[in-house]
Amino acid sequence: MAEEEKIEQVVKITIFTPLIYVAVMVTAFVVFSVQYKRHRLRKLVQMESLFGHNYTVDLYLALKDKYYNKSLPKQERPPEKAVKAALMRRAVEAIRRTLKLKENNSVFDKLYQDGLIGDDIFKQFELQNKMQQLELNEIVTECQQFSKEWPEKFFPVVREICFNEALRRRLSSFDARSEKLVEMWGYYVDKTESDKPQKEEKVKAAKEIKAQ
């Protein structure tokens, strides 16, 4: 009986095998990264702004499109001052929102650390900060289209307008609050005056009972 010969099978690995493996892994990683970024971007786009829709941007873009539309007659195109005024309104709203976010930055951090708000709300707050920074950068670019030196004069004026409007809102809220207080105290005064005869009658009746 012949002895069975054991044949050792040797798997030959070429130099291209590790390269192919690395290429497959890199391709899979790139595809996963792209899909993940698209998913995150889709979620970020679906997030609503904390301040609601910014109509000052719509107004400026509408006036800007008409201003640069050479096919329109000159009388139908808005003047340059109107476009600049719309850009200033847009900048005022951008600064107002930026200051509001800075005021509430520590509040959101504290709420998130204490677990009182979820990841979605905190990410929405962070996204709003990034969007406001992009908005300010875009406003600077728009200013430079009119004049390279204009941003230096533009933003101090816009900040002053923003602060004046904030002060005006505070004063208006004080006036409204004072009117409510006047109405409330007037109501209590009237009620107190109307209760006086009843109290006097009760006191008089009590004195008569004691006299008997």
Domain boundaries, the chain: 50-171
The pLDDT of residue 110 is 92
Q: What is the pLDDT of residue 1?
A: 45
Rounded distance, CA 65 to CA 69, Å? 6
Q: Within 13 Å and on the Cβ side, how many CA atoms surround 37?
A: 6
Are 89 and 56 a contacting pair, CB within 8 Å?
yes
Amino acid at 151: P
Residue 4: the pLDDT is 47
Do 119 and 108 form a contact (C-beta atoms < 8 A)?
no
Is residue 210 within 8 Å of 204, Cβ to Cβ?
A: no
Token code pair at residue 71: 């096919």
Distance CA 187, CA 90 (A): 44
Please give the C-alpha separations between residue 192 and each of 179, 186, 188, 200, in angstroms, as whole numbers. 20, 10, 6, 12
Q: Of 108, 139, 148, nearest to 126 (Cα)?
A: 108
pTM above 0.75, yes or no: no
Closest by CA to 97, choosing from 64, 58, 49, 63, is 49
Residue 200 near residue 192, CB atoms below 8 Å:
no
Q: Is 25 left (phi over 0), alpha (psi -120 to 50) or beta?
A: alpha
CA gap 30, 21 in Å, rounded: 14
Q: pLDDT tens track of the chain, all 212 residues?
A: 444 444 455 555 666 677 777 777 777 777 777 666 665 555 555 567 788 889 999 999 999 999 999 888 988 899 999 999 999 999 999 999 999 999 999 999 999 999 888 888 888 899 999 999 999 999 999 999 998 889 899 999 999 999 999 888 888 777 666 666 666 666 554 555 555 555 556 556 555 655 55
Please name the helix (run of DSSP H) or strand (run of DSSP E) that holds residue 208, with its range, or none: helix 150-211
pLDDT at 195 (0 to 100):
55
Q: What share of the chain is helix, strand, coil (3-state, %, to 5)?
A: 80, 0, 20
